A and B are shown apart, each in its own frame.
Chain A
């Protein structure tokens, strides 16, 4: 069995600075602009959720593309065929490179959760909205799967997101509006798994 896969995430050289041009790049991406996190949150709050999600998608698509390219170039089965922990590690590395915090993944039975800690933009709810856009786009571009990311809990600097499909999305949103705890939702999700 072929074990071709990327090695562990290596951030060295990931952020490139073109001193002559005065530009920053993450990998071979288009130039980036370093923006104060606080200013970004303020801008997103003014722009509203729809535009904030769109901005998150722009960031996440770039992340997903880098993951996809990295895993596919390694000669394996792409991101979908990659070991769970390794994919999460690379996804977390890319999220960290974007300055969005420390990402981990949790498997609650069959349910999957992303946890972002120490995100400089998540102290406001709009920051969580942006992270939803980032993660959903990253997963979509990397794997081709259409996943909806829903923030379900905040514990200090840590925000927990559930990765949901269309079949559970409405129900989960309804339960969250009712005030149901995310742990109860996760239990319900597993109990209702087909």
Chain B
């Protein structure tokens, strides 16, 4: 657990405890009778403070490291301050008596007596709070549970505190807050499921599922005495020499390009579809991918809410009204029109130049857009030339989007800053 996570945990503690405080709960499990506050934080605290004033080390040597070189006098002053605030009665109705806002430390002590070991590295004053859990008599009803069943708690303890022979097992099941926090942590760290957004996974987030940890990788011996690293196998490269993520396109750039109306193709669209990432790297696949081989493979046009999207140039704004006969995808076009995000984003995408979208994938998407373009012009047939004009980088080379590496390079090297 890093510092940020500790702070987040403490903040979570604070929120939870405040809620419990409003609800009249102080470490009580759901449905359990709320214990009187005095049974949680008894009058022994001032005596603990007095002990500290005598110059002794704070109880629990495990906090020495966290406290570093703080002088015992400072600890005593902190202890007095904390004990004074903690000694104020806290009622379920809130701060009716006008006591000060509890500190995170004191609140943590209320809500999480057994887990107060979490606090020291965040707020050194928490050393004083160590007196609180020691004053709480363990419940005869508590049944210690195996720590291995509480992974989060075990991890925290292992990360924060050295094992102490004085430490007694904590019944986590009697510390509902700890359990809740663990659950929250589990949610936070859970990896999102990308199963439903295959392109987002395949394009934006390379999957390393097929890459073994380095310790498990075994060089593959070949007959000629050479070897290759499995990570560099063709299959792996197919999946990782990838096109950039469309999501990496900064909105600022979109704004800028929109303002300058640059780019040869005018409007750009966010189009979702059955795009095949990495198709351009497949052996034997020509760059001039067929545009109209199979219209059944045309992608589905849907609102840009899907993450399965890529930037494709197009000659028109699909946000405009399409006065066309009913068609299978009419509802999908309507979805474009109805989606406020599309209306908002479309102008920003004007003139945007495509990334190196896999040609095979792009061709199918472009084909769909060419068809729409023809419909806009009331033409009966989409023009292949139109398609080439649109996607010179996909089809035959065009001056605007050359396909030869040298031409691309020359274009880049010939640029100058306008300002």
Contact = CB atoms under 8 A, between A and B. Distances in A.
B406 A79 contact: yes
Which of B234, B260, B281, B416 has the most chain A CB within a 10 Å cutoff? B416
A14 interface: yes
Interface residues of A, number: 70
A187 B256 contact: yes
A186 B241 CA distance: 23
B320 interface: no
A106 B260 CA distance: 20
B3 interface: no
A188 B257 CA distance: 9
Given A13-B222, A188-B418, A106 B410 contact: no
A88 B405 contact: yes
Interface string A66-85: 00000000000101111111
Nearest to B414: A165
Interface in A62-114: 77, 79-89, 92-93, 96-97, 102-112
Interface stretch (A42-50, A52-60, A124-132, A166-174): A166-174
A191 interface: yes
Given A19-B225, A109-B353, A183-B253, A85 B287 contact: yes
B15 interface: no
B212 to A, nearest CB: 16
A85 B414 contact: no
Which applies to chain A's interface (DSSP): helix, strand, loop or mixed? mixed
A18 B226 CA distance: 7
B415 A17 contact: no
Contact of B256 (A96, A163, A184): A184
Given A13-B226, A15-B229, A188-B417, A139 B241 contact: no
Given A111-B412, A184-B252, A81 B241 contact: no
A115 interface: yes
Top 4 A-B residue pairs of the complex, sorted by shortest distance between their CB atoms:
A80-B406, A192-B418, A165-B413, A183-B253
Interface of A: 3, 7-19, 77, 79-89, 92-93, 96-97, 102-112, 115, 117, 139, 143, 145-147, 155, 163-165, 167-168, 171-172, 175, 181, 183-194
17 contacts: A7-B284, A8-B281, A8-B284, A9-B241, A12-B233, A80-B407, A83-B404, A85-B359, A104-B356, A106-B356, A112-B409, A147-B409, A163-B413, A164-B413, A185-B417, A187-B253, A190-B263
Given A96-B241, A192-B415, 5 more contacts: A15-B227, A104-B356, A181-B252, A183-B250, A187-B256
